[in-house]
Amino acid sequence: MEHVDWAYGLAKELLETTLPRRWAHTQGVAERASSLTPLLREEADTLIAAALLHDIGYAPDLVDTGMHQLDGARYLRDVASADRRLCRLVAYHSCADNEARQRDLFDVLAKEFDQEAPDLARALTYCDMTTSPDGRHVDVTDRLAEIHSRYGPEHVVSRSITDATPCIVSSVRSVEAALSDVRQADVG
Ligand SMILES: [Fe+2]
């Protein structure tokens, strides 16, 4: 729980007042992460902490490149001295390599941060991409449609999400399948 309590305090401080809806989303993503505990077992705390921190790059004081995944990961590494795995998960969350390419920041991202273990990266993508902006649990298709309508077709985020859709959907569906296997095993 050490990482989780620390991450909760940091994310709350950065988001609650300036970006209350983002804070509501963040708490919903963390709830999703908790729901994966049967799947991740001892890795669950790392995922919950990453879920709490994944969007801190939107905090006005942290914005630098405008790519919130990179800005958040740099803050965690350089200012907060966070665990390296948390920095990596935040840097690449929800298939962010696609947005990095759209913003011409892929070389920067890849030079500064390694990718985290695929299971954990997919799990964080599942949590983020099945949680609405106000923190409700939604299907990934509704989540993707909402992002497109919020940003509009020309925005770099919409273009990035279009590129990332196969990665996002396959991550979500693989986590859902694994969760259902675990639940069936518990019942059986
Ligand atoms: Fe998010």
Q: 27 C-alpha to center of ligand 1: Å?
A: 10
Indicate if the pLDDT at residue 134 is higher than 80.
Answer: yes
Residue with tokens 């970006």, as numbered in its chain: 19
Q: What is the separation, in whole angstroms, between the first and last Cα of the chain?
A: 30
- Could you tell me the two tokens for 31? 């709830």
Mind listing the pLDDT tens digit for each residue in 24-37? 999 999 999 999 99
All residues with CB under 5 Å from ion ligand 1: 55, 128
pTM: 0.95
Q: How many angstroms does the Cα of residue 26 sit away from the middle of ligand 1?
A: 6
Measured distance CA(105)–CA(120) in Å, rounded = 23
Q: According to the model, what pLDDT value does residue 186 have?
A: 77
φ and ψ at residue 175, rounded to 5 degrees: -70, -40
How many angstroms does the Cα of residue 4 sit away from the middle of ligand 1? 17
For residue 55, the CA-to-ligand 1 centroid distance in Å is 5
